[in-house]
Amino acid sequence: MKNIVLIAITFLFFSCNSSAQKNKTTEKAYTVTKTDAEWKKQLTKQQYYVLRKAGTERPFTSPLNKEYSKGVFYCAACDTPLFKSEHKFDSGTGWPSFDREIKGNVAYGTDNNLGYTRNEEHCATCGGHLGHVFDDGPRNTTGKRHCINGAALKFVPSE
């Protein structure tokens, strides 16, 4: 009788772990792709952590947080233009914040790493992690707050 119970429990355990229950993720093909070694060689340690490992820099550590000159913020990994300076605002969060992206250059996904769902942002060209977008931005514009890691960006001032 003990063997039958043991077999039944084992069968139940494995039947709940079928391939139909597993998340099937397909890797998106990006225009710019590199090996992990190539990214490590190109990026700083902090940029690699943020862009390739979906890390987060500490708040108030990026010099780009207070950058308000006219210009464009580009992906630090592949030079895709992501945000315009005229859409930047001080959210008080400690990360560069924008009320909108340059359309077509930012891709979106979901992030459940903190136990709840957040809208994650990636560079649409190389897939680098940028940050997250929230619905608590300026109400007089889009209402969005694109909360972006400064390490994921490079700023090029207008001439």
Q: Which residue has the tokens 């391939």?
A: 19
75, 78, 126, 147: the active-site residue: 147
Compute the half-sphere exposure of residue 14: CA atoms within 13 Å on the CB side of its CA.
5
CA pair distance 98, 35, nearest whole angstrom: 30
Tokens for 137, please give them: 């931005």
Q: Among this protein's residues, is 147 annotated catalytic?
A: yes
Tokens for 70, please give them: 């006219």
Catalytic positions: 147
